[in-house]
Structure 1
């Protein structure tokens, strides 16, 4: 069949476009025939193992391409392996999920632990390409100060100064996090306006230059890293998957301004909060967040209505939430008063709870947030609680065993009671990294509880007459659970008549660890 000339032209143009598009890519395609010759000679190369059908891989692709082009100028290459076309190659490199990114140094791989957006990849790989501490001279000082969002430079009279050793140790520990340089160039030191030894932090936000205010001669790795960590968090910035962990790891409460990013008054509201944030930054981190994109997260922080802007403080350590009533206008004065009350310890957290069940007819009782303190205050009973999430696969597999355990002790409910307490987990963002997760209980644990639940299912027992909780860490078979109860409960407990021969639930447990959040 003869193909019309117009169609022929279209096909030729399409093929040519595809060829040019492929040729324009700065990401190298790796196969079994070229991987060793491409990867092994490189001092540093980043390799992505991906599957074309993977949604996370598709989302990463444009960022990976952009980073490859930017890093090409720095002499750092990016490559990729199609695991559908090359399954054996991916298996040989221990790939178990997509995308998997590995950093190769002279052919030796290590896990990539950086961000997955273009600027994050560029920043991470730039740090990897440099020594832990780079030499800064008059010819590169201005470029180096702007090479990353956080740049620390030690100005020294000699590379052998005692301060240089501590600074080097700090850099080795945090080379993935920040960019480090040092200079003994007299002209550079003079232009920096400091006396040696000195450490200066250059930032791409807030106050761009900060000088280490304590004597550098007595500095330690801990004091330097704490100083940098404190200054690495902006007064107020947008929170996302890329930067959430820096807030979570700071140990400080997190104050959110939920706002519609398309609102004409967005910047005005942010500036109102900024004034409060400047005053209280030492004790609380402040962020603004896209309320439209992360509406579910707002609900998990007990902001039930889609009313923006809204403001809430979260005590990350204790998983407690302190939202301002959404009917209240978010003004600078309102936020200031709220934050000051929180710092003073006079605010009461808002606790979420399901309704109290009208009846409790099953062997396993349902426990809700409103009744938690009331239930655990019964010191005449032993209480065994499963904390679960409705979506958790391990919890679903445990359910028939937990029900059977409740039936086993049904006749002894005056002494021991089995409870089930549901928690709901809401992720901050849709991301293939589990480092960016946030707990949002459907039933909040009250402040009086001396623990917080970080994985599902979590099993805890409180013995009668004591105020301590015992963690259950054994396997999830009925026999093991019964043995645990019998070991800790010091009174004879009889199961219902005939229950000894009751059939056991046919459930297999391949994973005996918690379902990590």
Structure 2
């Protein structure tokens, strides 16, 4: 008996399947990439042409790309825990895993082909050229024998990064002659630049991983949503050049190429389209006038903006970068002015006062990180003011506890603090300021009081003082639902 199911074949080679057809195909042999989408989703629409192009390119390799419309196949999407669109999953041999590559056709093709290869490909003279040309970034280990301890190290690295890069291993003396290499050695081959880079560090996992992450970056790239994660994970400082036109981009790529070579591995030079991503300049403490340049340290998020009163050309930038790598530059901090007075019930903190007011204080400090536009922050404000007034107006309470707030959109936040949404509330206990405790309970005055009492170093309990406050203040607090929702960044 033949199973009849519905398949819609588009002009490209993407299959749009219903639940019955999906289950039938996935249970068979083969490699599949599945996009769970919604027709109204903007990101899905942007992905569509790339996905279709990739489907055509992969068809001849026996790799199938599938779409599932989650507005129709709701049960199927619930089965695979689809919570956002598009969600991409790789299916192979009855199991599935998230797709973790960029959403460009060439990247999709490269990622899916890697799923058909072993973690490390054995390289001989016959397949060397084909393998070297099979991916943008190739890492090959040349070993006299497979018993070399470097083999295990190389395999561990390949297992972690197989979806991003291709890894090969050769013990063939004929290959050694062709490449003119003496084993043991590790080479990186970069197709776009038609170069190979020799690894000269210690044969230790951390050093080899750092080499892979830094040297795999383009000599002079472009910072885009799909490339941002690669630059961040490399931990190499990024030299961001904001440009406002294609002509300006080409001009800087040509004139600054020698600097990209000179500072390779120390600073990764990239262009940023200011017409699309100019807002990032403010994150780097730059004014939105173009062109502009700043160095961003990805590991610490320290920022070193180039003086915008100076002309941005190769000579000035060379001096700036030389001073940076020599440790002569001081990072800038975005900060509001220091408050002239602290008349309000809640102490106002800015970046330039964070250390003095929060970290160096002998008090337990409850600090709210907020954004002026955040609706949840606005709802919290009346209750937070009541809390602040409670501690500020009572000497016994206020001598050991401070209620404070900081506008996290107008002030740089210390690197060790992770603010994922607004409001974020943390308690900096007097005896452990380096490890603040995030508050995730109901946003009521009573709950804040209990949190400070239980988690603060001084164990201050303000509940009896709060209960003697006028009932109108307590009523304004009890009207809140106690929501712990956040406005995302």
Q: TM-score, normalised by structure 2?
A: 0.85
Match of 1:319 in 2: 301
SS in 2 for 1:292: helix
The answer for the alignment partner of 2:411 in structure 1 is: 443
C-alpha separation in 1, matches of 2:329 and 2:148: 50
Partner of 2:284: 301
Residue number in structure 2 paired with 1:150:
137
Secondary structure (helix, strand or coil) at the match of 1:213 reads coil
- Partner of residue 164 from structure 1, selected from 141, 146, 151: 151
Deviations 1:321-380 (A, max 9, x none): 221221210122211222232233332333323355566543223333344455348746
The equivalent residue for 2:5 is none
> Who is 1:408 aligned against?
390
**CA distance change for structure 1 residues 498 and 288 in 2, over 3 Å: closer, same or farther?**
same
Count of residue correspondences: 471
Q: Larger RCO: Structure 1 or Structure 2 (Cα < 8 Å, ≥ 6 residues apart)?
A: 1
Shift in Å at residue 69 of structure 1?
Answer: 0.9
CA deviations 1:140-178 (Å, max 9, x no partner) are 322221221111123344555544343333222221121
Change (3 A) 1:165 1:350: closer
What is the deviation of 1:385?
1.4
For 1:270, the equivalent position in structure 2 comes to 253
CA distance in 2, matches of 1:61, 1:387: 38
Shift of 1:70: 1.0
Segments of structure 1 that go 5 or more residues without pairing to the other structure are: 1-20, 425-441
The answer to whether residue 275 in structure 2 is matched with residue 288 in structure 1 is no
State the alpha-carbon separation in 1 of the partners of residues 415 and 246 from structure 2.
41
Find 1:384's aligned residue among 351, 356, 366: 366
Pairing 1:42-441 to 2, within 5 Å after superposition: 42-159=29-146, 161-206=148-193, 208-213=195-200, 219-263=203-247, 265-308=248-291, 310-356=292-338, 360-373=342-355, 375-376=357-358, 379=361, 382-390=364-372, 392=374, 395-396=377-378, 398-412=380-394, 414-415=398-399, 416-424=401-409
- In structure 2, C-alpha distance between the alignment counterparts of 1:369 and 1:213, rounded to whole Å: 42
Distance in 1 (alpha carbons) for counterparts of 2:205 and 2:426: 39
Q: Is the 8 A contact 2:214 2:236 kept in 1?
A: no
C-alpha distance in 2, partners of 1:329/1:111?
A: 46
- 1:401 touches 1:505 (CA, 8 Å); kept in 2? no
SS in 1 for 2:241: strand
Does structure 1 residue 482 correspond to structure 2 residue 449?
Answer: yes
Deviation at residue 41 of structure 1 after TM alignment: 1.4
Cα gap change, 1:224/1:342 in structure 2, threshold over 3 Å: closer, same or farther?
A: closer
Stretch of structure 1 that moved more, 328-337 or 273-282: 273-282
Distance change in 2, residues 1:136/1:397 (3 Å): farther
Preserved contact between residue 387 and residue 421 of structure 1 (Cα < 8 Å): yes
Structure 1 pair 66–400 and aligned structure 2 pair: CA distance change class (3 A): farther
* 1:499 partnered with 2:444: no
Cα deviation, residue 400, structure 1 = 4.5
Q: Secondary structure of the residue that 1:472 maps to in structure 2?
A: strand
Evaluate the alpha carbon distance shift between residue 408 and residue 60 of structure 1 in structure 2; reply closer, same or farther with a 3 A threshold: same
Provide, for residues 386-441 of structure 1, a one-character-per-residue CA deviation record: whole Å limited to 9, x for no partner: 112345565455444433322432423652332211112xxxxxxxxxxxxxxxxx
Deviations 1:97-150 (A, max 9, x none): 111111111221211111111122112111112111123344432222122111
